[in-house]
Amino acid sequence: MIVPIKRLITIYLATFMFFTAGISFIFYQLNREPTYSFSTATDVVLASYDETEDLTKVSGEHVIGLVNAALNGEYDLIIDGVPINAVTDIRDIDLRGVVGNTYNMTLLRQNGVIHTVSVTH
């Protein structure tokens, strides 16, 4: 008879401690202020821009930088007629000749959102 009573007391104490800790955790999470990361920079710094003044012209390196977003489905990228989008297998496309070229870029928008980026050289 003594063993079952000790077991019941132990189970009761463990349950009480579990619920007390759980309720404390939930109240802490509900009443906690969210933390946001803000930039501490307050000044705009002047820097020289050494690239072309025509913003429709981009380098091959910039075109390579557009590929990841196209593969993630943010827009369709067309490099010299070769489409790259979310369903493209990048292993099937040879991008070795892109770097070092200068491309003319055209953006197509739908409802203000960039839908297609087309680059040709």
Domain count across the chain? 1
Q: Please report whether residue 10 resides in a domain.
A: no
Q: Please report whether residue 81 resides in a domain.
A: yes
**Token code pair at residue 80:** 């010299």
Q: What is the DSSP letter of 92?
A: G
What are the backbone dihedrals phi and psi of residue 91, each rounded to the nearest 5 degrees, phi first? -70, -20
Q: In terms of Cα–Cα distance, which of 58, 85, 57 is closest to 69?
A: 85
Q: Please report whether residue 101 resides in a domain.
A: yes
Cα–Cα dist 116/121, whole Å: 17
Burial label, 105 (beta-carbon count in 10 A; 0-12, 13-18, 19+): middle
Output the tens digit of pLDDT for each of the chain's 121 residues. Answer: 566 888 888 999 999 999 999 999 998 888 877 776 666 767 777 777 666 677 788 888 999 999 999 999 899 999 999 999 999 998 888 888 888 888 999 999 988 888 899 999 8
Q: Please report whether residue 20 resides in a domain.
A: no
Q: Please report whether residue 14 resides in a domain.
A: no
Contact of 106 with 55, CB cutoff 8 Å: no
Q: Please report whether residue 76 resides in a domain.
A: yes
**Residue 101, Cβ neighbours under 10 Å: how many?**
16
Q: CA angle, 114 as apex, 112 and 118 as ends, to 5°?
A: 140
Q: Please report whether residue 108 resides in a domain.
A: yes
Q: Please report whether residue 115 resides in a domain.
A: yes
**Residue 41, Cβ neighbours under 10 Å: how many?**
7
pTM, 2 dp: 0.56
Structural domain boundaries enclosing 64: 57-120
Cα–Cα dist 85/32, whole Å: 42
